[in-house]
Structure 1
Amino acid sequence: MDTYTKIAFALLLAGGLTTSHAASAYPFKAGFPTPQAAQRAHDEQDYQRAVQAYRFFYPTVSLEATFDGMRAAGAVDNKSALILAGGPRHVFFTGNSDTPYMGSTLNLKEGPMVVEMPAGAYLGVLNDHNFNWINDIGIPGPDAGKGGKHLILPPDYKQTPPEGYIVSRSKTWYVLVGARALPPNGDIVAGREAQRNIRIYPLSQAGNPPAYGFVDRTSDKVDVTPLKWENNLQYWEKLKKVVDEETSIDEFRPMYGMLAMLGIEQGKPFQPDERMKKILVRAAQDGRAQMLIAGYGSDRPDRFVWKDRKWEYATLRWENGDFELPTGIDLEARDRWYSQAVGMSPKMVLRTEGAGSLYWLGLRDKSGAYLDGGKTYKLSVPQPVPQKLFWSVTVYDAETRSMIQTSQDKAALRSLVELKDVPTSAPTELYFGPKAPAGKEGQWIKTNPGKGWFAYFRLYGPTGPAFDGSWKPADFELVK
């Protein structure tokens, strides 16, 4: 989205109230606002700006949490990466256990960096500090899974890049390298170890690359989410940190202006008084709620995958990785995605046959009620499932948006693992609830009474019937 669209967007968000509203809500005397009217206007304007700024910069703060979590787990910028085979112990917005992860933070203030991908079944992406897409790596990228050297340039790079590289330029100093390795024949350990074949090093040392480390936290607790910040003053403190350490992006100028009105400005101290602290905390709480309502309570007809099912698209936009419309940005789609997920790439959300993956969101049962952890549900999956690689159903806690944590220590049912031996001559029945139905323990995920949950149904290598409506899973059905 260009600068003028951003300005129009910002002005729309910060727009004033109508004359009739102003006349009733803000009393004037002899043509001038009363002190009470002026104070109310100041408070409401700051609150409105704060809510919109919260939602706009949520992806930025979310990625800062990812960087923070990887560093806390032992990964060092430009020197080592975090690898793990995902599980319930990992607090990670809609992370999954289908494919092992690798995450690395690049600090381009130290110069251009090289990400050397080996040939193989890797899916990866480069995102800048605002979770904006830079490029794909691996199978969905220009190296097409055949291997290649990706050169990531910093914002101020003015030299001619050397030959022999796939060149990308970041708008921010800090960059996320995220990669997944498709597990061969469901061998998660082999997939995890395959991540160690990725090489990352400074361009300045390309002639003799230094060793790059990998920190395996598969068995350890890791949190790479902003959950501890997202509803309090820390959200704004973390955002101020990013504003100070990052380059300014021209398209964001109107939004930086809104932050300045809230006391957040590059190079200046952030010292909100008690009035502003209360406004910022309230805005964080309400902004979070509005984003989650976009995720869980949207009323858009285009959210449904099929007219006769309750399944929804995890992302409301699929044409590109920036939620762009012909004349602007689909803000609800953007809020919806980042309230429950991380990372973005155009290839990640394509609704076309042959795309890398397809995600469907299950929030409600057949009757339309939200899924309840104290009840038992059945999900019938017709066979064969239209995919070339594998499929899975993963259960998430509605509050953490991360894999559900129970005494079962399990959140997914996968065609290459738990379901590899189920018959495909009839529909596969999966169960979800606090207690497994007799004889169905291997096809069951435990849920927590008193807590809501949702599921992602993932297809890897989806084929035609997944798109033309000739195949569809049933809705979650309450087992009485």
Structure 2
Amino acid sequence: MKFLLLLLFSLSASHAADEPGFKNGYPDNDTVTQVRNDQVFQRAVQAYRFWYPTVSAEGIFNGFRDLGVNDNEAIGYLQASPIGLAFTANMDTPYAVAALDVKDGAMVVELPPGAFIGLANDHHQNWIQDMGIPGPDAGKGGKHLILPPNYKGEIPADYHVGRATSNKVLIALRAIPQNGNMKEAMEMITRVKIYPFSTSANPKLLRFVNLTSRKMDGTLLKWENNMEFWNKLHKVIDEEPILQEFQPMYGFLSGLGIEKGKKFAPDNKMRSLLEQAAKEGRRQMLVSAFANWRPDRIVWKDRRWEWVGLVSENGNFMTQSGLDLEARDRWFSQAIIASPAMFRRTEGAGSLYWLGLRDDKGEYLDGGKTYKLSVPMPVPAKLFWSVTVYDNETRSLIQTDQNNAALRSLVELKNSPTMGTVDVYFGPKQIAGKEGKWIKTIPGKGWFAYFRIYGPGDAAFKGTWRPGDFEEVKTTDQTASNP
């Protein structure tokens, strides 16, 4: 009995003993300071990751505004090339991009009949609606009406309606080049009409500005690891309405001094913590992109290809369990704009994206090595397919003196055999005899590739058709580095 009493006393005394940094159960000043700093830092990292798509969208808007393509005034259109920075943009089709402000009224996007692929996203890159082939007009043409947030008025007939959840709306359109005719596709995209709904009787059209030959940075690269990330985020939060579904994350921001309608004036300590959080947040986003651990990222067990989009069927990364934050992080750390058509894994869906990061041995792709990729023919693509190379630091088209980052079924590979296998190459020097089937890479720099199929056939999803892996080629039979 005496032993039991001693044991109980010992346990109670042990339980009552202070933890390091606490006295009589209360934290000391050093502990308070450390914990508060840790809380701010941790919450800031989570806020960074959640609001990354929002600041990325501002980067897109900013890139076009810098070239005079202002909101509700103009549409920038271009044939994308490596001279511009844009997260995993492709060279397959011309783009038309417009920033619309629907705060003062609805806007109309009018498509003529034709092979268009398009969408509308809000300022947070939430999906609003698809247009063209993957949309309700199915390529037959039609008028798409984008309503302001919380619109309560009458909705006119004969429009495909999308409800914006922000004042600023991103419109991204592409025209598919028939038989690889990019010039014709560029002309085709200028037939699109965008105008305020209030001017429908006599449309006040946004003008087109050709940006093909102009350098542009449509990313947040210059902001993503420093204090400017938070300044840009505060700007957007202040300009846009509050989204009910984002309420908990606005709470994270208020603890960092970012609130709608209030000045953002962090002191030196807060600035230091926010800058550290931006750097750490970026690191975590890139791990999600390039070293993801989820088993559902793997397309086939006997290949190294990965799904870029980990969520299918939903353009806003919602699942039955809630918002898939990891899938959202992975996508927006390397890509821009989202739509259900991008993620759908059914035959004839808008598009399919596979990510190539590693060679057949599991090693990251190295710009100083030469690789071969074998593509069985025919590729199950109702529209077209391509392989595109990106710089893994900028997540943009790789920039070399070749000035080409893609091998496309409509362009470089349009005369490929319809049966058998087509081998394409990637490396710092061109292999003799492989002209038109090679993309230049940069020694000392990593790279990754997207394999895209537009209008994918069922074989691409069932695995009865699949490309090979990147295989390193040991060869000394190489010409000068210029193509």
Letter paired with 2:358? R
Give the residue type in structure 1 aligned to 2:367: G
Where do 5+ consecutive residues of structure 2 fail to align? 1-16, 475-483
Give 2:480's aligned residue: none
Letter in 2 for 1:35: N
Of 363, 367, 371 in structure 2, the residue corresponding to residue 369 of structure 1 is 363
1:402 aligned to 384, 396, 401, which one? 396
Mapped to 1, the partners of 2:122 and 2:168 lie a distance apart of 6
What is the deviation of 1:441?
2.3
CA distance in 1, matches of 2:161, 2:453: 31
Which of 143, 147, 152 aligns to 1:149? It is 143
Judged with a 3 Å threshold, the aligned counterparts in structure 2 of structure 1 residues 164 and 26 are, in CA distance, closer, same or farther, namely: farther
Aligned partner of 1:171 in structure 2 is 165
The equivalent residue for 1:468 is: 462
| Residues in 1 aligned to 2:456 and 2:138: alpha-carbon distance in whole angstroms | 18
Task: Name 1:338's counterpart in structure 2.
Answer: 332
Could you report, residue by residue, the CA deviation over 1:30-61 in whole angstroms, capped at 9, with x for unpaired residues? 11100011001100000011000000000000
Deviation, 1:192, is 1.4
SS at 1:441's partner residue? coil
Using the size of structure 1 for normalisation, the TM-score is 0.94
Amino acid at match of 1:443: K
Structure 2 counterparts to residues 289-328 of structure 1, below 5 A? 289-328=283-322
Give the match for residue 4 of structure 2: none
Q: Which residue of 2 aligns with 1:17?
A: none
| Alignment check: 8 A CA contact 1:128 1:174 kept | yes
Query: Take 1:193 and 1:89, find their aligned partners in 2: how far apart are those partners?
Result: 21
Q: Find the aligned partners of 1:224 and 1:462 in 2 and give their Cα distance.
A: 28
- Do the aligned partners of 1:235 and 1:284 also contact (CA within 8 Å) in 2? yes
String of CA shifts for 1:172-217, please: whole Å, max 9, x gaps. 1110111111111111111111111111111111100123211111
CA distance in 2, matches of 1:43, 1:456: 40
Residue 88 of structure 1 aligns with an amino acid whose one-letter code is P
Q: Deviations over 1:210-240 (max 9, x none)?
A: 2321111111111110000000000000000
2:447 paired residue number: 453
Pair 1:440 & 2:440 matched: no
Q: Secondary structure at the match of 1:393?
A: strand
Number of residue pairs matched by the alignment? 459
1:171–1:425 distance in 2 versus 1, CA, 3 Å: closer
Query: What is the Cα deviation at residue 257 of structure 1?
Result: 1.0
Please list the CA deviations of residues 142-170 of structure 1 after superposition, one character each: whole Å capped at 9, or x if unmatched: 11111111111111422212223222211
Larger Rg over CA atoms: 2
The CA deviation string for residues 334-369 of structure 1, in whole angstroms up to 9 with x for no partner, is 000000001111111111111121111000001100
Residue range with higher mean Cα deviation, 334-343 or 212-221? 212-221
Instruction: Give me the whole-angstrom Cα distance separating, in 2, the residues matched to 1:96 and 1:187.
Output: 16
Cα distance in structure 1, aligned partners of 2:20 and 2:320: 38
1:77-88 alignment, distance < 5 Å: 77-88=71-82
Cα deviation, residue 108, structure 1: 1.0
| 2:317–2:323 contact (8 Å) kept in structure 1 | yes
Structure 2 counterpart of 1:382, one-letter code: P
Closer, same or farther: CA 319–24 of 1 in aligned 2, 3 Å: farther
Kindly indicate whether residue 196 of structure 2 is the aligned counterpart of residue 202 of structure 1.
Answer: yes
* Secondary structure of residue in 2 paired with 1:47: helix
Distance 1:263 1:24, change over 3 A: farther
The answer for the alignment partner of 2:7 in structure 1 is none
| Inter-partner Cα distance in structure 1 for 2:407 and 2:461 | 22
1:442: how far off? 1.6
Q: Offset at 1:25?
A: 8.1
The corresponding residue for 2:93 is 99
Is the partner of 1:207 in helix, strand or coil? coil
**AA in 1 matched with 2:446:** G
Q: Give a deviation string over 1:83-135, Cα, whole Å, max 9, x none.
A: 01111112010000101101001111221111111111101101011100111
The amino acid that maps onto 2:305 is W
Q: Which residue pairs with 2:12 in the alignment?
A: none
Aligned to 1:270: 264
Structure 2 vs 1, CA of residues 283 and 423 (structure 1 numbering), >3 Å: closer, same or farther? same
Aligned equivalents of 2:319 and 2:382: distance in 1?
A: 31
Q: Secondary structure at the match of 2:397?
A: coil
Q: Which ranges of structure 1 fall in alignment gaps of 5 or more residues? A: 1-22
Q: Report SS of the residue matched to 2:117.
A: strand
Could you list the structure 1 runs, at least 4 aligned residues long, displaced by more than 3 angstroms after superposition.
Answer: 23-26
Q: How does 1:45-84 map to 2 (within 5 A)?
A: 45-84=39-78
**In 1, Cα distance between the equivalents of 2:205 and 2:143?**
16
Q: Is the 8 A contact 1:26 1:38 kept in 2?
A: no
1:229 maps to which of 219, 223, 226: 223
| Cα RMSD after superposing both structures | 1.4
Partner of 2:410: 416
Matches of 2:69 and 2:82, distance apart in 1: 20
SS state of the match for residue 109, structure 1?
coil
Q: CA deviation at 1:301?
A: 1.2
Q: Which moved more, 1:456-465 or 1:44-53?
A: 456-465
Matched-pair identity in %:
59
Kept after mapping to 1: 8 A contact 2:313/2:341: no
1:31 to 25, 33, 39: 25
Residues 1:281 and 2:275 aligned together: yes
What is the CA–CA distance in structure 1 between the aligned matches of 2:120 and 2:228, rounded to whole Å? 27
- Following superposition, the deviation at residue 386 of structure 1 comes to 1.2
